[in-house]
A = this chain, B = another copy of it.
Amino acid sequence: MSTGFTQHDPTRTIRAPRGTALTAKSWQTEAPLRMLMNNLDPEVAERPEDLVVYGGTGRAARSWEAFDAIVRTLADLEEDETLLVQSGKPVGVFRTNKWAPRVLIANSNLVGDWASWPQFRKLEAEGLTMYGQMTAGSWIYIGTQGILQGTFETFAAVANKRFGGSLAGTLTLTGGCGGMGGAQPLAVTLNGGAVLIVDVSEERLRRRLGKRYLDDVETDLDAALAKVLAAKAEKRPLSVGYVGNAAAVFPEILRRHRAGELAVDVVTDQTSAHDPLSYLPVEYTVEQWAAEAEADPAGFTKLAQASMARHVEAMVGFQDAGAEVFDYGNSIRDEARKGGYGRAFDFPGFVPAYIRPLFCEGMGPFRWVALSGDPEDIRVTDQALKELFPDNTHLHRWIDAAATHVEFEGLPARICWLGYGERHRAGLLFNELVRTGRVKAPIVIGRDHLDSGSVASPYRETEAMADGSDAIADWPLLNALTAASSGATWVSIHHGGGVGIGRSIHAGQVSVADGTDLAAAKLEVLLTNDPGMGIIRHADAGYGRAAEVARERGVRIPMAEH
């Protein structure tokens, strides 16, 4: 038995095969093979030489030996065989049947009492497990397109909730223009709005200029406000970056808002508040930052938390004054609470506020990849999808924006949010495009593990569920079993993901539109049932909209049938 365990190999450069020539025995096995390789494409992966795709140490395979064995096995796998992958290592091949998945994956799972970072790190160092993140170890990561799309979707949900479906004529105030947060200005303008984004770092702001990620940068507050207020008045999309400290700027703008000098409609923040050493307190300049944080981490933390208290106090002030305010996943509420501010949790997190209503309709991050490698294939799917949903202006806006702003990384891919009753129609459409040769090769269809019925994560996706069922983990397990029973090509169950060991269980599924009748039959069932899990999970938790969707669209819930 091969006992080698090489995790670092700078000599390896992986890129998925393109075109229509098969290296495996069918497209159902070629697809996972190319997607595994695509996850390690230097355009896609953060540290491909270490098999790390994204998110800290989220890997595609446990070792290079395991990677090679997976590739070897997939290349040879029959259409009624199934490969088992245990935390990135191929551990068995069984004969199953044509409807069964070709690959079954379980990553990073630990028994509860051992589900801690120290235990995990120890087992990982011993070569017994790996961190699978969400789409790293399940071979369906598609690069940074997901961040822009997720932020776009959040602001679209804000627009739907409060402003009749568009942010045109509204002003958004936010902070933090870094790796994640830098998607905010474009996400707002794509939704038609004006936005002022505050960052202490002029360099960070300037990096986002161009391609409309950010339209303008200002160092004078009056000038910056004049520009966004004019855009707001003319219902024109515009993003302006202002160089300043949010803990000082937010209270100043609140003062003007209260005085009736201007009106802010939406307030949020994506400074890196989750780590107090990465949040600049008002006492220091950007130049002093690194040295001060290093010299006295405890003292720096105290100052940062005090600044965050002022920052969040202003956000609560905006909410009191009628604005739409939400936490955008950076833990700033808890840091402000530690900084001594008592009302920090007065505004909600973004999932309960905006994403959960979407989950109640089975909406979630649907994504697909052109196995041909030809960007033209994605253009064909974009166009066909717009024709399939001619009245969905929101979808059209995103597809057009993505076509303009997104540069493909690795195999060409697209992401958009679709709900129950829509996803299987998209799947069948793509299968038809393959069957009729309008795209050059089969299309892979997957999704993030962050989806409506696929995750238990009490600090994020299932925070503050209506019935208190945040920590119940039966749902993602049922989701994975259902996907395996519904014709998915590969299925995965992961522990940890974005929030870490001990904090979440989630499931993934991927399918392949290869143009055959069998694929059509599978896609119809799978892409109905998978978002259906979101409907039943939220209906069970007491969300009226989910129960309504179940009744309207015919999702069967036994306890409601009497």
- Hey, which bits of chain A sit against chain B, CB under 8 A? 1-2, 65-66, 69-70, 72-73, 82-84, 86-87, 89-97, 99-101, 104, 106-116, 119, 123, 126, 128-129, 456-458, 467-475, 477-478, 480-482, 484-487, 491, 493, 495, 501-505, 521, 525, 528-529, 532-533, 536-537, 540, 547, 555-562
Pick from B104, B471, B484: contact of A119, CB under 8 Å: B471
Determine whether the beta carbon of B528 is less than 8 Å from that of A474: no
Sample 27 A-B pairs with CB under 8 A, ordered by A number: A73-B561, A82-B485, A86-B478, A87-B472, A90-B558, A91-B559, A92-B556, A94-B482, A94-B486, A94-B525, A97-B525, A101-B481, A104-B478, A106-B481, A107-B474, A110-B471, A111-B504, A112-B116, A112-B501, A112-B503, A113-B458, A115-B115, A126-B467, A126-B468, A129-B474, A477-B480, A481-B491
Determine whether the beta carbon of A558 is less than 8 Å from that of B83: yes
Q: Given A119-B471, A478-B86, A491-B481, verify A65-B559 contact (CB < 8 Å).
A: yes
Determine whether the beta carbon of A532 is less than 8 Å from that of B485: no
Additional 17 contacts, C-beta under 8 A, given A94-B556, A477-B480, A484-B485: A1-B559, A69-B562, A83-B558, A86-B475, A92-B532, A97-B99, A99-B99, A99-B100, A100-B486, A106-B474, A106-B481, A111-B502, A112-B115, A112-B501, A123-B468, A128-B467, A129-B472
CA distance A95 to B486 in the complex (A): 8
| Residue among A66, A83, A481, A521 facing the most chain B CB atoms (10 A cut-off) | A481
Residues of B close to A457: CB separation below 8 A: 111
Chain B residue at smallest Cβ distance from A558: B90
Chain B residue at smallest Cβ distance from A550: B92
Determine whether the beta carbon of B505 is less than 8 Å from that of A111: yes
Pick from B69, B128, B456, B501: contact of A558, CB under 8 Å: B69
CA distance A93 to B559 in the complex (A): 11
Q: Given A82-B485, A92-B555, A482-B82, verify A493-B505 contact (CB < 8 Å).
A: no
Pick from B93, B94, B559: contact of A89, CB under 8 Å: B559
Determine whether the beta carbon of B481 is less than 8 Å from that of A92: no
CA distance A159 to B107 in the complex (A): 39
Residues of B close to A473: CB separation below 8 A: 106, 109-111, 495
Shortest A481–chain B CB gap in Å is: 4
CA distance A119 to B456 in the complex (A): 15
Chain B residue at smallest Cβ distance from A90: B558
Residues of B close to A477: CB separation below 8 A: 106, 109, 477, 480, 493
Pick from B69, B128, B536: contact of A91, CB under 8 Å: B536
CA distance A529 to B561 in the complex (A): 37
Shortest A79–chain B CB gap in Å is: 13
Copies in the complex: 2
Pick from B95, B109, B503: contact of A474, CB under 8 Å: B109
Determine whether the beta carbon of B458 is less than 8 Å from that of A111: yes
Q: Given A123-B468, A503-B113, verify A558-B485 contact (CB < 8 Å).
A: no
Residues of B close to A505: CB separation below 8 A: 109, 111-112
Determine whether the beta carbon of B93 is less than 8 Å from that of A556: yes
Residues of B close to A504: CB separation below 8 A: 111
Determine whether the beta carbon of A503 is less than 8 Å from that of B91: no
CA distance A557 to B99 in the complex (A): 22
Determine whether the beta carbon of A86 is less than 8 Å from that of B481: no
Residues of B close to A104: CB separation below 8 A: 478, 481-482, 485
Determine whether the beta carbon of B128 is less than 8 Å from that of A472: yes
Q: Given A475-B86, A547-B1, verify A558-B72 contact (CB < 8 Å).
A: yes
CA distance A65 to B558 in the complex (A): 11
CA distance A501 to B472 in the complex (A): 13
Determine whether the beta carbon of A529 is less than 8 Å from that of B94: yes
Shortest A29–chain B CB gap in Å is: 13
Residues of B close to A501: CB separation below 8 A: 112
CA distance A555 to B95 in the complex (A): 10
| Residue among A92, A111, A116, A475 facing the most chain B CB atoms (10 A cut-off) | A111
Q: Given A2-B562, A96-B486, A111-B505, verify A493-B475 contact (CB < 8 Å).
A: no
CA distance A528 to B84 in the complex (A): 15
